[in-house]
């Protein structure tokens, strides 16, 4: 293992003005998104859609890397170039989702454990050969009556740390993603409390597993009220609570924190990131690793029609650029309506 390689890649992932496109939806998840726009989920359609995103003009200014799914890392552009090679030529680092999903945690109704550790070393070796230089593993923590349990938090933190150690052994930068869901009716304080327990457990397990913090990226949720909550926090509150939480639990050795959007609208996720970056100086880079917030408008604009590819690409480019601005606190709310 080369520590300097890991540090170099992790630092490049959070380069100035840049963040990640999470395009690693599983076949089942992208199938649901395609169903909403009336597109049949075939390997060709999934390839066409991802190619539209990756080929959007100029995105390398704002996109440092793309998280791919197992199918996508093996696919080619219409011109026959493997996707990882196509991205690398643009100066965009290919990454890969390596967990195999959150499954019911036996004995703990309503909670999940993320799977995918068996055979992971061998899969990482193959993914490295296919061009991946970073990986992602998502743990899912739901907030509900009496949930999460301390055991589910610990089990998920343990799995995240085992994954991270294996990645670093194979010279792949781990993105450690403990996602506290925003699906419930809980307020921002409850999200803060649960996220504290989760980050505390995660960094304790990372230390126990001897994970090299300088060669990893954290991908957390923001501190935010549940979608069904009667009171929503103001954007400034979300930004302040999130930065305060991260300062308590994330060591300064971690080069970057790249948020998930988690069901926030594109404008909300972009504004929150921008406000947080306005609260500096901060010990780490704060960036984005958005799936839906970067793709929602592009997906609907495209709607599976070849004639819409240019417009869909432009929609993705727009949100990539606005999040590039948010990296330095320079996104102005509503800018998406004024820019073409």
Positions touching ligand 13P (CB under 6 A) are: 22, 138, 177, 260-262, 290-293
HSE-up (13 A, CA, CB side) for residue 79: 7
Closer to ligand 13P at the Cβ: 18 or 138?
138
Closer to ligand 13P at the Cβ: 50 or 138?
138
Distances (CA, A) of 234 to 192, 223, 239, 241, 260: 15, 11, 9, 11, 19
Q: How far apart are the first and last CA of the chain?
A: 46
Q: Are 225 and 182 in contact (CB under 8 A)?
A: yes
Q: Are 199 and 191 in contact (CB under 8 A)?
A: no
State yes or no: is 228 an active-site residue.
no
Give me the catalytic one of 219, 268, 297, 318: 219
Nearest residue to ligand 13P on Cβ basis: 291
- Minimum CB–partner distance for residue 24 and ligand 13P (Å): 6
What distance in Å separates the CA atoms of residue 254 and residue 227, rounded to the nearest whole number?
Answer: 30
Q: Are 149 and 111 in contact (CB under 8 A)?
A: yes
- Minimum CB–partner distance for residue 252 and ligand 13P (Å): 24
What distance in Å separates the CA atoms of residue 76 and residue 44, rounded to the nearest whole number?
Answer: 10
**From start to end of the chain, where are the E strands?**
19-22, 63-68, 93-97, 102-104, 112-114, 134-141, 173-180, 217-218, 256-259, 285-290
**From start to end of 50-202, where are the E strands?**
63-68, 93-97, 102-104, 112-114, 134-141, 173-180
**145, burial (CB in 10 Å: exposed 0-12, middle 13-18, buried 19+):** exposed
Closer to ligand 13P at the Cβ: 26 or 125?
26
Closer to ligand 13P at the Cβ: 41 or 208?
41
Closer to ligand 13P at the Cβ: 135 or 161?
135
What distance in Å separates the CA atoms of residue 310 and residue 291, rounded to the nearest whole number?
Answer: 20
Token pair 């093996």: residue: 74
Give me the catalytic one of 177, 179, 268, 297: 177
- Minimum CB–partner distance for residue 291 and ligand 13P (Å): 3
Closer to ligand 13P at the Cβ: 102 or 254?
102
Q: Tell me the β-bridge partners of 173.
A: 134
Q: Are 10 and 215 in contact (CB under 8 A)?
A: yes
State yes or no: is 103 an active-site residue.
no
Closer to ligand 13P at the Cβ: 12 or 139?
139
Buried b (16+ CB within 10 A) or exposed e, 75-97: bebeeeebbbebbeeeebbbbbb
- Minimum CB–partner distance for residue 78 and ligand 13P (Å): 26
Which residues belong to the active site? 177, 219
């Amino acid at each position: 293992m080369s520590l300097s390689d890991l540090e170099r890649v992790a630092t490049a992932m959070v380069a100035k003005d840049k963040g990640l496109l999470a395009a690693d939806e599983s076949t089942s998840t992208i199938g649901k998104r395609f169903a909403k726009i009336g597109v049949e989920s075939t390997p060709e359609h999934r390839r066409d859609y991802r190619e539209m995103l990756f080929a959007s003009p100029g995105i390398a200014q704002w996109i440092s890397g793309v998280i791919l799914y197992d199918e996508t890392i093996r696919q080619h552009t219409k011109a026959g170039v493997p996707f990882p090679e196509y991205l690398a030529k643009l100066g965009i680092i290919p990454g890969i989702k390596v967990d195999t999903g959150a499954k019911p945690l036996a004995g703990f109704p309503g909670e999940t454990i993320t799977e995918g550790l068996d055979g992971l070393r061998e899969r990482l070796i193959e993914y490295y050969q296919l061009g991946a230089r970073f990986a992602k593993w998502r743990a899912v923590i739901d907030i509900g009556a009496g949930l999460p349990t301390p055991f589910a938090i610990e089990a998920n933190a343990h799995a995240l740390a085992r994954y991270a150690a294996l990645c670093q052994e194979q010279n792949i930068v781990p993105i450690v993603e403990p996602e506290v869901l925003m699906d419930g009716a809980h307020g921002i304080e409850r999200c803060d409390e649960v996220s504290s327990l989760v980050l505390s457990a995660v960094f304790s397990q990372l230390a126990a597993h001897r994970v090299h913090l300088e060669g990893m990226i954290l991908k957390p949720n923001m501190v935010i009220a549940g979608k069904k909550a009667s009171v929503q926090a103001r954007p400034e509150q979300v930004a302040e609570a999130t930065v305060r939480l991260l300062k308590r639990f994330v060591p300064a050795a971690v080069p970057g924190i790249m948020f998930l959007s988690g069901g926030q609208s594109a404008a909300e996720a972009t504004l929150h990131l921008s406000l947080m970056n306005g609260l500096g100086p901060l010990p780490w880079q704060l960036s984005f690793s958005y799936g839906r917030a970067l793709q929602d408008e592009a997906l609907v604009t495209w709607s599976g029609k070849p004639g819409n590819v240019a417009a869909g690409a432009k929609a993705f480019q727009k949100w990539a650029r606005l999040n590039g601005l948010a990296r330095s606190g320079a996104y102005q709310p509503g800018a998406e309506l004024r820019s073409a």
